[in-house]
Amino acid sequence: MTFGLVRPACSAAARRRPGWARRFSSALPSQDVKPEAYISQSTDPLFNLSLEDFLFRSRPAHVPVCLVYRNAPCVVIGRNQNPWRELDVRQMNLVNLPLVRRRSGGGAVYHDLGNTNHSFHIARQDFTRRFHAELVARALNSPPVSLVSRRGGGEAGAAADNDDAGDGRRGAYVNARNDVCIALRQPGGIAGAPTTATTEERKVSGSAYKIISQRAYHHGTMLLDSDLSRLQGSLRPTRGDAMRSKGVESVSSPVVNLCEAFESRRAHLTHESYVESLVGEFARTYAAAAGVEAEEEQAQAQALHVVQVYEEDEIGRQKKLRQGWEELKSWEWMWGQTPEFHHSIELQQQGEGGLFSNGDNTLHLHVKNGRIIAADLEDEERGPLGAIARRMVGKRYNVLADAPRTTFEQEGKERLKQKRIEDGLEELGLDGQTPGSAEAEYAKKFLAWLKGML
């Protein structure tokens, strides 16, 4: 296929590209084995994740690929994660923050337009976890981002050594966990001092990986100027020991925005500048790997294709990409992919409006493939609670629980709350009950309580 090596048809105004993209573009024929860079102009996370998977599976195994994109605000979890175990679902719903499940492993991450994502695809036999993390660090230390200061060199755009909280002598580096980090000076430290006890490591980019038969990718985020308050409010487990899951748990690390750490470089820490630095370093790295030693732009251009991608262009309309896009929206992917887990909920009579007539009890839920396969009460309950517990078997956990939304449409909070109760009644087969009947009213109260507990 040649679609990845040509400019997709679009209007002249929409297709106007920045100067750096023109500098790195080449008109080499599609059969040439050259590294390829794709810059997505979409901010839909479902499209961008589908584009990533489509490129990963459709480009030749021996062709290195770089994809760069940004997403509208959302939380993205790993393929094998349990959102109720990893996230503060209530907080996400409070701020209308949607959830997306990606195809790779790794932990939960917050995305917004202040957070740029990169993805590198290479042949499986050439894959190492550190190689492209080092490439990203070099990109941050190179123009136009230029985190590394050059004191006395007079180089235009060099970072301010003494004024920034970030260590401008070291710039970005890769730690033992293969995260891209910077050293943040602590109050009382000596400006310009090497990394010692006077500095603290902060992550600016984490990574996840995927490997198939002949291909591997490494993708990650870059915190340029992200809303860290939403990140910290959402990526916070709230279930504790009540939920036991087989899923992969996130590993939290102290993070910082590059704009915060390198205030003097703020004008150069934009999405556009980062993309220019990253694509430039990608070109240099693979030009060197191909034996091209020249540093001139012309030599780099001969080693790289750059393609701007839009949702409506030839790539965006590819059938397999669209199928992947639809799959990521599906219940089977979003919720059915959740690893098996158990959740125990204490039912205390006092303070619950008489919902639990037999006093204290515990409801044990066993969930597999997104559905409740067992709902057991610790003490036998023959009343309405026992009847509802029996109805829960085989039902979708996310419909009965307080689940984060998975769409980007806004809804009024009161209407959304009411709709979730209605959906829960329908899931339990109680939506046809006579309005005002004892069973229907009990079910409404119980579901309202249950959604606050699950």
Q: What is residue 11's predicted lDDT score, i.e. its pLDDT?
A: 39
pTM check: above 0.85: no
Q: Does 320 share its domain with 352?
A: no
On whether the CB atoms of residues 65 and 55 are closer than 8 A, the answer is yes
Task: Indicate if the pLDDT at residue 78 is higher than 80.
Answer: yes
Tell whether the model's pLDDT for residue 179 goes beyond 50.
Answer: yes
Q: Could you tell me the pLDDT band of residue 298, with boundaries at 50, 70 and 90?
A: low
Residue 1 pLDDT grade (very low, low, confident, very high; cuts 50, 70, 90) = very low
- Beta carbons of 55 and 320 less than 8 angstroms apart: no
Is 159 a residue whose pLDDT tops 70? no
Domain tally for the chain?
2
What three-state secondary structure class fits 76? strand
User: Model confidence at 14, in pLDDT bands (50, 70, 90)?
Assistant: very low
Is the pLDDT assigned to residue 412 strictly greater than 70? no
Q: Work out the mean pLDDT of the chain and round it to a whole number.
A: 81
pLDDT band at 157 (very low <50, low <70, confident <90, very high): very low
Residue 335 belongs to a domain: no
Range of the domain at 431: 341-453
Per-residue pLDDT reduced to its tens digit, 118-142: 999 999 999 999 999 999 999 999 9
Residues 115 and 149 both lie in one domain? yes
CATH code assigned at 364: 3.30.390.50
Strand order in the sheet with 109-111: 99-101, 74-77, 109-111
CB–CB of 43/49 below 8 Å? no
Is residue 317 domain-shared with residue 370, that is, in the same domain?
no
- Whether the ω angle into residue 144 lies within 30 degrees of 0, i.e. cis, is yes
Same domain for 217 and 365, yes or no, is: no
In a domain, 336, yes or no: no
Structure confidence at residue 351 (pLDDT): 46
Q: How far apart are CA 8 and CA 309, in angstroms?
A: 8
pLDDT tens figures, 215-233: 999 999 999 999 988 777 6
318: pLDDT strictly greater than 90: yes
| Range name among 27-31, 41-45, 137-141 with the lowest pLDDT average | 27-31
Q: Is residue 286 over pLDDT 80?
A: yes
Cα 117 from Cα 67, distance rounded (Å): 8
